[in-house]
Amino acid sequence: MIPTTRPMLIDSHAHLDFSQFKPDRDRVIGRAWDAGVSKIINAGTDLASSEKSLALAQRYPAIYATVGIHPHDAKTLTPKTLKRLSKLAANENVVAIGEIGLDFYRDLSPRDLQRSAFRQQIRLSIELGLPVVVHDRDAHTEVLRILRQERAHRVGGVLHCFSGDLTMAREGLEMGFLISFAGPITYGGEKKKAIAGKIPLESILVETDCPFLTPVPRRGERNEPAYVQYVAEKIAEIRGISFEEVAEVTSKNAARVFGLKIS
Ligand code: NI
């Protein structure tokens, strides 16, 4: 039974391995398919989460994994961890290195370790020929500088849950990055909405970043991949185009950057 006739969406960034989904993970995933989500990219945040992401991807054919050490956990990136990530990334279900980057808002790892972990993992992605999924919070200038210095345009990737300005978005596009929007576009400021209206649709992805950042009209609930539709609806509204067009193009974009086959 297909309860929806709307075109399929790809949730380009989820954390289904997190403990918030422990009680009902299978049901959450089932609801995603019922809501018209065709694929989910599950992002690793540390070594254990990367391993769990890969295990999910091996269990569900329409889930793919990224492996990487989040800036919060940058202090855990040892040479041994890097080696293990590299091994995990050799699996065909792993489609990117991430999420990696800088978080100068919460500063849960010292900034010099964040920078070093970010650089080492970009180098790993280039070595493996995989795109990177970038987390950036209050570190726009440095994120761009490191991506440039490490020549990340060779692999490209995604600026996930984008929070920069239009200039940053355009610099990212020039380096071969796509811009991904999550729930905040449904409740955040006008600036973010303006960016989603001004950059080419061919450079946009939609994501939930679940269990966090629940979009309107589900604020207050735990977020889940089924709710990526609200992000896509908002982008359609901002751009004055149909939901169908947003779904079709953002799915193609996700397939392109992550090397997925879509029918
Ligand atoms: Ni995330």
pLDDT digits (tens, 9 = 90+) for 230-242: 999 999 999 999 9
CA of 55 to the centre of ligand 1 (A): 18
Q: Which CATH class is domain 9-258?
A: alpha beta
Q: Sign of dihedral through CA atoms 196, 135, 62, 173?
A: positive
Query: Which residues lie near ion ligand 1 (Cβ < 5 Å)?
Result: 209
Q: Does residue 254 register a pLDDT over 70?
A: yes
CA of 73 to the centre of ligand 1 (A): 13
CA of 94 to the centre of ligand 1 (A): 16
pLDDT digits (tens, 9 = 90+) for 13-42: 999 999 999 999 999 999 999 999 999 999
Q: Looking at the DSSP assignment, which residues form a beta bridge with residue 157?
A: 132, 177
Look over the chain and give the mean of its residue pLDDT values, rounded to a whole number. Answer: 96
Confidence of residue 5 (pLDDT cuts 50, 70, 90): low
CA of 3 to the centre of ligand 1 (A): 29
pLDDT digits (tens, 9 = 90+) for 201-214: 999 999 999 999 99
Q: Are 142 and 112 in contact (CB under 8 A)?
A: no
Q: Sign of dihedral through CA atoms 186, 220, 179, 151?
A: positive
Other beta carbons within 10 Å of 113: 15
User: Residue 23 contacts by C-beta under 8 Å, 6 or more apart in sequence?
Assistant: none
pLDDT at 182: 97
pTM over 0.75: yes
CA of 15 to the centre of ligand 1 (A): 7
Confidence of residue 193 (pLDDT cuts 50, 70, 90): confident
pLDDT at 71: 97
pLDDT digits (tens, 9 = 90+) for 153-183: 999 999 999 999 999 999 999 999 999 999 9
pLDDT digits (tens, 9 = 90+) for 88-141: 999 999 999 999 999 999 999 999 999 999 999 999 999 999 999 999 999 999
CA of 68 to the centre of ligand 1 (A): 11
pLDDT at 263: 65
Distance CA 49, CA 47 (A): 5
pLDDT at 172: 98
How many Cα neighbours within 13 Å face the side chain of 122?
26
- The domain limits of the chain are 9-258
pLDDT digits (tens, 9 = 90+) for 215-228: 999 999 999 999 99
